[in-house]
A and B are shown apart, each in its own frame.
Chain A
Amino acid sequence: MIVRTLFVLALVLVSVACGNRPLAEETNATGSEGGQAGSLDTTCSPTDQAQYVYRPARLQVVEACVRVAGTVVSSSTEADGDVHLQVRLDPPYQVLLRPGNQFEDGNLIVEPVCQFPPLQADAIRVCASDPDPLLGGLPGVGDHVWMEGRYILDSQHHAWAELHPLYRWGAINP
C-alpha cells in the first residue's frame, strides 16, 4: 500500500513537471529613461541571462546592456541565488546612479544571477532552468573592473539602479 501510494506521488510529480514551461523574458525599455544613459556605452551585447531573472515585473528595464567601470566595495550572497555586488562607479559613469542608490552608500548594485540554487521559492525553478549562469569567478572586493549588464531600476528597493543581470566583466589594469 505504501509503495503504491509513493508511486502515485511520483506520477503526480512528473505530471506537474510536464505542465511547466519557462516564463517569457521581460524586455520592455522606457524611452525617456533610456536617454539617462546619455553618452555611456550601450552597444554591448546581452547574453541569455535576462530570461533567468525571477519576478521580472519588479525590475524596470532602462537599457538592455550598459558598460560601466568602477571598484567593487562589497560582495554578499542572497537567498534568491544572486550575488549582490556594490560598485563604486568611476566618475564618468556616476550619471547612472539614482536617489535610491543612497540606500546603498551611493554605489551601483550589480547582480550576477543564479550563482547557486536559490533558497527563495519564487526563484528556485527559474534558476534551475538556467544551463549556463555566469561562471568563472566574480571580482573581489577592491578590484577595479569594467562590467556589462542590463541597466534596470529595482521597484522593490527604492527604485535604485542596478546592472541586473551582469553579463560579463573584466579587470582594468592599473
Chain B
Amino acid sequence: MRVPTWIGWTGATTVGFSLGTTLSTFLVGAAARPLSPLLGGIIFVLSYGVLIGIVIGLAQCLAIPRGTARWRVWILATPLGAGAGYVLASVVGEILGNTIDPSLNVVIGEGAIETASGAVVGLGIGFAQWLVLRRGLSDGRWWIVASVVGGALGYGAAAAVLELFDLPVLKANLVPSFGAILGLFVGVSQGLVLRPAYLD
C-alpha cells in the first residue's frame, strides 16, 4: 500500500520513529546488557540505533514515491545510517555535556546538546538514504540537509517539550512521544524535498 502524498511520508516517518524508538528502548534495553562492556557501551548504542533504523526504513517504504529508490537497499541503508548516527550523536552529546558549564541555564545548555546531537542523528540517516536516493530524485542533494535540519529541530523540540511542559499524556508515554516528535520534524523536512517526486 502506498500513500501518494508527502503528507503520507511525514506520517510514515513519525510512526517509524515512534515505534522504532519504543521497540528499541524496550527490546535492546532488556536484552542487550551483555553488550554493555564492549567498547564502552558503543556496541549497545549501535544495536539501539540499528533497530530504530529498521523500523523507520520499513515504515518509510510504505510511503516512498514509486521509482525513487530500491526498497531492499533502502531497508539496508536506513538502519546502517541510524546506527552510525546514534553512535556519533551519543559521543557528540557526551563531549558537549562534559564541556558545557553545568551552571549555564539548563534550557540553553541542554538545548545546545540535544540540537547538535539530533543533527548528527539526521546526518547519519540522511547520508545513508541519500546514497540510495540520489539517482532517483532530482533534488537529492538537499536530502542530507533536510535530514540534518529535521533531526536537529526534532531532537531539540522533543527534549524541550518533555522537559519544560508537564503534559501528563506525553509524560506517561515518554518514549513513543519523544520518537514521534523527532519523527514529525524529520518527516516534514524530508517530505518537502520529496514533494516534487510525488508529482512526477
A10-66 contacts to B, CB under 8 A, are: 10, 12-13, 16-18, 20-23, 54-55, 57-58
Stretch at the interface among A88-96, A97-105, A127-135: A127-135
Do A120 and B94 have beta carbons less than 8 Å apart? no
Do B90 and A131 have beta carbons less than 8 Å apart? no
A87-126 contacts to B, CB under 8 A, are: 116-117, 119-126
B92-133 contacts to A, CB under 8 A, are: 92-94, 96-98, 102-103, 106, 109-110, 113-114, 117-118, 127-128, 131-132
CA distance A156 to B77 in the complex (A): 39
Do B24 and A122 have beta carbons less than 8 Å apart? no
Stretch at the interface among B139-147, B158-166, B191-199: B158-166
CA distance A83 to B117 in the complex (A): 23
Do B159 and A120 have beta carbons less than 8 Å apart? yes
The answer to the question of B91 belonging to the interface, with a C-beta cut-off of 8 Å to chain A, is yes
Do A128 and B42 have beta carbons less than 8 Å apart? yes
Interface size class of B (residues with CB under 8 A): 35 or more
Do A121 and B132 have beta carbons less than 8 Å apart? no
CA distance A78 to B81 in the complex (A): 26
Stretch at the interface among A1-9, A141-149, A166-174: A1-9
Q: Which of B86, B97, B114, B158 contacts A55 (CB under 8 A)?
A: B97
CA distance A16 to B90 in the complex (A): 11
Q: Which residues of B contact A (CB under 8 A)?
A: 21, 24-26, 28-29, 33-34, 36-37, 39-46, 48, 73, 76-77, 80-81, 83-84, 86-94, 96-98, 102-103, 106, 109-110, 113-114, 117-118, 127-128, 131-132, 155, 158-159, 162-163, 171, 174-175, 178
